[in-house]
């Protein structure tokens, strides 16, 4: 490579030096002595951003000058210019300097000057663009990363305001949304090439799936919901009647896979005996989740998300030597999909119904048997819950059936619902075996993920989503929750470079 010793560096950075000296003069002048620290911070922040933008601009100008000098030396050489071939394989020998493009960055907008290699009938090629790994659009990768960071934590309007406060008016709301969508494009490929950390054969491999609705724009609803919304005739003009659905949501499916060491327990470690705990022995803690991996989609159906969850689980345990535990809330369609996927892969899984859901059904039965605010209802629920945890769900169901038989028809709704739930899910209520093996029996991890990934961002007041935007935000929030954003961004930049310039980064 030719040495860059003929470019006057001090002259190129003269504007940066002048900006810096002007800031020094303001700070050393008598006027700054009367400023409060808040005014000083504001002044240095504004002037500092101008200085950083000028430094970037001067460096880009220096690289442009060096490129032009290097090409001039090639022209003066005996061999002449060899030209540059584009992705189409056409050799471009004609060179034209002085081509400019704008680059919006976290410091403000800069101008990139570079030389164009040209040939008749084909697009120009700019080697300097590839050397700088410039994006295909106007906004820099640093600005895109900032847009992602701000957009996943709050509304797009709030993200735009935060970026403008820091960087100036460098992008609009629609451009911000497009940057976020593009930033999530390689998440699937990133996880397919990522190798999970291996665990011992005794470590539990826990899978869980759940769903949560997202308010969508009408065109983004699933066909059945869109048809129902179009044909719905509301009873009232100003509110929904009992049992009516607004038909505004599309279900997003979330999945989680994590590792956990077995933690054997007994029923009274989970539920206190009637009358409360006595003595000083603390209850044994349940399994602690580690190495959580989250995924979610509002576009894919539950079967596809469950397939992704099993794919990741098999990447952690390809030989199927670890205990696989699947936690669900009892939805029949989820159970059917999970059992079908496990059978297709020939893997043995232990399916456990979330015990918190069982407790809610027991409380519904208690309200059928006890007056409101009756303290005896708590002890009754504790006794039934301990029996279910001990593996006697069938006996509890028989007892509830006998008690329901003597109740008036108007008081049986809660207890009948509980009986149907316990009887319909009996094969998944073997909590005695789960506790003995040290398995988790609650879906708190996936429930928390639903609240965090969807509720805290996609369910904010007034939000109505399109498919692409909701999918991008959901996947990016899951990626960040897994702690993989930094590694993913490096991978994404390599993929962007290869896609833009058709060469590896």
Q: Is the separation of the CB atoms in 469 and 252 below 8 Å?
A: no
Count of alpha carbons within 13 angstroms of residue 216, beta-carbon side? 25
Per-residue pLDDT at 77? 58
Name which of 7, 131, 128 is nearest 66 in CA terms.
7
| pLDDT lower than 70: segments of the chain | 1-10, 76-81, 237, 243-244, 505
Q: Is the separation of the CB atoms in 119 and 93 below 8 Å?
A: yes
Output the CA–CA distances (angstroms, integers) from residue 400 to 277, 362, 393, 424, in the order listed. Answer: 25, 10, 11, 14
Encode pLDDT of 298-331 as tens digits: 999 999 999 999 999 999 999 999 999 999 998 8
Alpha-carbon span 471 to 252, nearest angstrom: 9
Alpha-carbon span 473 to 180, nearest angstrom: 8
Per-residue pLDDT at 1? 45
Q: How far is CA 329 from the centre of its chain?
A: 22
Alpha-carbon span 222 to 302, nearest angstrom: 13
Alpha-carbon span 330 to 211, nearest angstrom: 12
Would you kindly state where each structural domain of the chain is located, as residue ranges? Answer: 199-485
Q: Is the separation of the CB atoms in 361 and 351 below 8 Å?
A: no
pTM over 0.85: yes
* Cα end-to-end distance, the chain, whole Å: 19
H/E segment holding residue 324? strand 324-328
Per-residue pLDDT at 365? 95
Count of alpha carbons within 13 angstroms of residue 148, beta-carbon side? 28
Alpha-carbon span 86 to 93, nearest angstrom: 11
Residue 268's contacts (CB-CB under 8 Å, 6 or more residues apart) are 283, 386
The DSSP letter of residue 452 is I
The DSSP letter of residue 137 is S
The DSSP letter of residue 461 is T
Encode pLDDT of 87-112 as tens digits: 888 898 899 999 999 999 999 999 99
């Amino acid at each position: 490579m030719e040495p860059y010793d003929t470019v006057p560096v001090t002259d190129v950075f003269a504007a940066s030096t002048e900006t810096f000296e002007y800031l020094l003069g303001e700070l050393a002048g008598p006027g700054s002595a009367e400023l409060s620290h808040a005014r000083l911070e504001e002044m240095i922040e504004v002037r500092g951003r101008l200085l950083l933008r000028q430094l970037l601009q001067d460096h880009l100008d220096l690289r442009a000058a060096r490129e032009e000098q290097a090409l001039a030396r090639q022209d003066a050489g005996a061999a002449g210019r060899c030209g540059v071939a584009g992705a189409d394989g056409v050799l471009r020998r004609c060179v034209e300097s002085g081509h400019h493009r704008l680059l919006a960055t976290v410091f403000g907008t800069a101008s990139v000057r570079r030389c164009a290699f040209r040939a008749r009938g084909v697009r120009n090629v700019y080697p300097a663009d590839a050397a700088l790994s410039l994006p295909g659009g106007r906004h820099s990768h640093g600005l895109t990363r900032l847009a992602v960071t701000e957009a996943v934590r709050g509304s797009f309007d709030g993200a735009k305001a935060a970026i403008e406060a820091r960087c100036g008016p460098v992008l609009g709301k629609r451009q911000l949304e497009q940057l976020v969508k593009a930033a999530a494009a390689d998440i699937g490929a990133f996880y397919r090439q990522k190798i999970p950390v291996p665990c011992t054969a005794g470590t539990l491999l826990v899978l869980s799936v759940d769903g949560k609705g997202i308010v969508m724009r009408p065109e983004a609803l699933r066909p059945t919901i869109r048809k129902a919304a179009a044909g719905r005739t509301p009873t009232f003009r100003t509110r929904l009647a009992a049992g009516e659905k607004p038909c505004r949501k599309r279900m997003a499916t979330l999945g989680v896979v994590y590792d956990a060491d077995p933690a054997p327990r007994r029923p009274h470690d989970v539920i206190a005996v009637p009358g409360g705990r006595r003595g000083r022995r603390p209850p044994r803690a349940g399994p602690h989740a580690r190495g959580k991996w989250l995924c979610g989609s509002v576009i894919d159906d539950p079967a596809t998300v469950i397939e992704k969850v099993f794919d990741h689980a098999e990447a952690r345990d390809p030989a199927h030597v670890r205990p696989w535990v699947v936690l669900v809330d009892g939805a029949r369609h989820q159970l059917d999909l999970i059992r079908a996927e496990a059978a297709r892969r020939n893997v043995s899984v232990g399916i456990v119904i979330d015990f918190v859901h069982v407790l809610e059904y027991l409380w519904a039965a208690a309200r059928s048997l006890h007056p409101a605010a009756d303290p005896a209802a708590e002890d009754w629920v504790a006794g039934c819950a301990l029996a279910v945890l001990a593996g006697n769900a069938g006996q509890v169901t028989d007892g509830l059936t006998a008690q329901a038989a003597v109740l008036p028809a108007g008081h049986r709704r809660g207890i009948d619902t509980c009986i149907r739930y316990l009887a319909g899910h009996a094969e998944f209520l073997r909590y005695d075996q789960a506790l003995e093996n040290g398995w988790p029996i609650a879906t708190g991890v996936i429930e928390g993920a639903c609240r965090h990934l969807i509720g805290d961002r996609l369910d904010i007041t007034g939000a109505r989503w399109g498919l692409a935007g909701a999918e991008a935000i959901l996947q990016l929030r899951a990626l960040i929750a897994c702690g993989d954003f930094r590694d993913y961004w490096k991978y994404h930049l390599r993929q962007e470079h290869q896609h833009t310039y058709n060469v590896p980064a």
